[in-house]
Chain A
Amino acid sequence: MTNPLPEQLRADAASTPPAPRPENDPAAAPGAEVAPDPSPDGGSVAPTLAQALASPAAAPDAAPETPGRLDITGEWRRVSSKAITIELLTNGIAVVVVAAAAALVSVLVDHPWPWFPGGAIIAVTLVTLAFVPRRIRSIGYLLRDDDLLFRRGIMWQRFVAVPYGRMQLVDINRGPLARAFGLAELKFVTASPSTGVTIPGLPLEEAESLRDHLVSVAESRRTGL
């Protein structure tokens, strides 16, 4: 899954103001038409915030009900499948370490009680191992014109939209295992500690080009905090 960023995205990275949406906009929700613009003239004449609060507005039409789970459609880019291997290995190492510690302590104290907590931890880890592949595959990101979408989770799904201009910094972290597999983790930091956009399992070159892309688009869209 080592597909570097689309050339066109990188090329127009520095193009300044938010361009009108292209037709193949992945933004539209299932069943939703183009979202009614809250400000009729597209926000060119920005009323003050207080005026916005004072002006009455009718509720938008109710969204049509659709079956299925919460989803935002689009061409989500998934993380490398090697990330699954890494996650499995990490958990495996944790199991071995816990088992070794339990064994050592139980030999030292000559009693099997260390195996009770140790065994519980090992059992829980082994059960979660079964979900690792799906969990990693659920992680995805989507570069739109003006914001970055991030998703993760199967049971507890989570979608986050971060405007590029909100970026404070981008981190690339590589643990020893990730380095062995040529992967990296990209962290998008905003002024809010709860944004929590951390994309693991990106091939290094993809992570780096993504970082450069994010930095340049953030630069062209930067405003105050």
Chain B
Amino acid sequence: MSDPEQAPPAPRHAVADAGTAAREHVRAGDTLADGQWHRLHPATPLLRGGIAFLAILGVVIANLRERLVEMFLPQFSGDPRYDGEDYDPLTYSFTHGYIGWVLFALAVGLVLVIGLFFLSWRMHTFRVTDEAVEVRSGVLFRTHRKAKLDRVQGVGLSKPFLPRLFGAARLDVNVAGQSADVKLEYLSTKPAEKLRRDVLTLASGARLAEGEAPLPGAAPAGVVSPTDGIITRHVVERANDFFSPELPEDQAPPESIVRIPVGRLVASTIVNEGTLVVLAVVVVGAVMLVNGSTWVIFTLIPAVLGIGSYYWTTITKSLRYSIAGTPSGVRIGFGLLSTSNDTLPPGRVHAVQLSQPLLWRPFGWWQVKINKAGLSAEAAMGGKANTTVLPVGTLRDATAVVQLMLEGADVDSTFDQVESAIMRPQESGFVLAPRRARWIDPIAWRRTGYALRASLLVFRTGVLWRKLTILPLARIQSIQISQGPLERVLRLASARVHTVLGPVTPTLPTIAKDEAALLFERASAAAVRAAADDHSHRWATEVR
């Protein structure tokens, strides 16, 4: 707020007042965002090292397999040809009288590990000031990361399964830049939820607090009382947290505007092109099995298990989906066992794409994906980081989600436009590819075109895989038109819009050459104008 260059051209004192109000509101509560250094959840090393622990345990168990089998199932006591004496470290140390040393080494190792974990936990601190989120970590190599609040692209709160049992959650503050997240893993759930809101409040630099009464710092009534024993309290809190809705009561947002029935979610996961391949493989495998190639079963079963687990994770990840607009942005929640909850401030959406795989067409299902800043390359490509804002839904659901992404609310008026853009682009103001484009794009040329609206550029592509890509002009990084030799012969060209990295690649594969030149001129001029009018980097200081 004290940075004049970052502030939009609103009156300076108004910005300062809004900032102060936001700050005071945040400070009024018992919050982690008080500008002091804080530590993370004490179980952090255990939770972060959880996988390593499991791996070590796995190695140990694998090494002691013979011994365990012998201990519990003596009738199967292994291969009689193998006496294991020199290979089994336990037997070796026992027979050679080293057992004391081994125990000593174990104890020293344990103390060292615990000491290191403790030290790294102690040295890992964070603070949230009015301007930035800062994290200091590392024992030998210290790092100090500071993210400016006005560059915040989103705040995510996720609770993986194991940490969730401990009542811990991870808070990701996304700022623009390749893997420039500031991760606070892990925090206790309640303070983390509050901190998420406070970070957004501070980042918006605004009075969005007005609608919300300051918290008296009360726990949900009647659930936990301070007189309970610590264990009871912990258990009750955990249970409450586990089954309660994701969001704390004091700021329960408007209800989710889209619901995904479980049946539709399951069906949509299974109905895709990949499943056809899987079915083909299973059929081939079954035929080979019947014809006596029993070895097939050893490749088939792991494959089926793997695919099954893929379906399972995909489905559970999208269960309990919710999306709703809140004053600080669109909030999207996902997940059954591991939950995640992202808040996307206004103006952080760089591209929105509605798409429909071929096999979803009979059911009328659509998917919505977005590009948002601050993803690492592999997260963006791997479809991680919750860029799929609607896993499956009807066109009306998809329109509602697109509306939210574009900061609107009136679904009905948009629905007709979206539907006609998809079904009848020639009637809804699209500049379509000319007939000669069929030599390059024999099927999709009828449905390939663009439309330039007041602050949006819309691409319509695809017949088998229908796609509608909506690009806010103020977020466009650059525009490209290009022409190859074949296109030159046909007087065609293609266009492409560069946005931040994400699952959406906005391209217009074919368009008449002169239309491409015109698109280039219009869109680049409109993008400049839209960017000049845009003040969403401190969204709540906009003139109301």
Binding site for B on A (CB under 8 A): 17-18, 27-32, 35-36, 38-39, 42-44, 46-60, 62-67, 69-72, 146-147, 153, 155-163, 165-166, 190-195, 197, 221-225
Contacts and interface: CB of A to CB of B under 8 A. Distances in A.
B408 A72 contact: no
Contacts of B513: 66, 69-70
B250 interface: no
What's the dominant secondary structure at chain A's contact region? loop
18 contacts: A27-B525, A29-B514, A29-B521, A36-B522, A49-B406, A49-B472, A55-B453, A69-B513, A157-B483, A158-B482, A162-B477, A163-B476, A191-B176, A193-B377, A195-B478, A221-B532, A222-B5, A224-B536
A48 B406 contact: yes
A63 B407 contact: no
A221 B408 CA distance: 27
B532 A223 contact: yes
B64 to A, nearest CB: 49
A69 B513 CA distance: 8
A54 B176 contact: no
B447 interface: no
Contacts of B470: 53
B478 A59 contact: no
Contact of B151 (A30, A32, A48, A225): A225
Contact of A190 (B5, B451, B477, B514): B477
B531 A43 contact: no
A50 B403 contact: yes
B475 interface: yes
B402 interface: yes
Contacts of B480: 158-161
Given A27-B525, A225-B475, A70 B481 contact: yes
B454 A39 contact: yes
Interface in B493-510: 493, 496, 498-501
B454 A225 contact: no
A223 B537 contact: yes
B167 interface: no
A156 B483 contact: yes
Nearest to B425: A59
Interface in B104-155: 151, 153
B518 A70 contact: no
B477 A192 contact: yes
Contacts of A66: 513-514
A155 to B, nearest CB: 5
Contacts of B523: 161
B431 A27 contact: no
B455 A52 contact: yes
A25 B514 CA distance: 18
A62 B431 CA distance: 8
Given A46-B454, A156-B483, A225 B373 contact: yes
A208 B528 CA distance: 25
Please provide the 5 A-B residue pairs with the shortest distance between their CB atoms, ordered closest to farther: A50-B408, A224-B537, A49-B406, A192-B477, A161-B524
B428 to A, nearest CB: 7
B512 A63 contact: yes
B409 A50 contact: yes
Interface in B320-348: 347
Contacts of A57: 428-429, 451, 453
A26 B431 CA distance: 24
A50 B410 contact: yes
B271 to A, nearest CB: 28
A53 B402 contact: yes
B530 interface: yes
A191 B526 contact: no
Interface stretch (B31-39, B185-193, B278-286, B484-492): B484-492
Interface stretch (B42-50, B53-61, B212-220, B412-420): B412-420
B533 interface: yes
Interface string B268-283: 0000000000000000
A38 B527 CA distance: 11
B319 interface: no
B408 A30 contact: no
Contacts of A17: 532
Given A30-B517, A49-B472, A225-B500, 18 more contacts: A36-B522, A38-B453, A44-B533, A47-B455, A50-B410, A54-B417, A59-B429, A63-B514, A69-B483, A156-B484, A158-B480, A161-B520, A163-B476, A166-B531, A191-B176, A195-B478, A223-B532, A223-B535
Contact of B407 (A42, A50, A59, A195): A50
B418 A65 contact: no
Contacts of A155: 484-485
Contact of A166 (B478, B512, B520): B478
Contacts of B472: 49
A51 B472 CA distance: 12
Given A35-B522, A225-B176, A54 B414 contact: yes
Of the candidates B409, B500, B525, the one having the most CB atoms from chain A within 10 angstroms of its own CB is B525
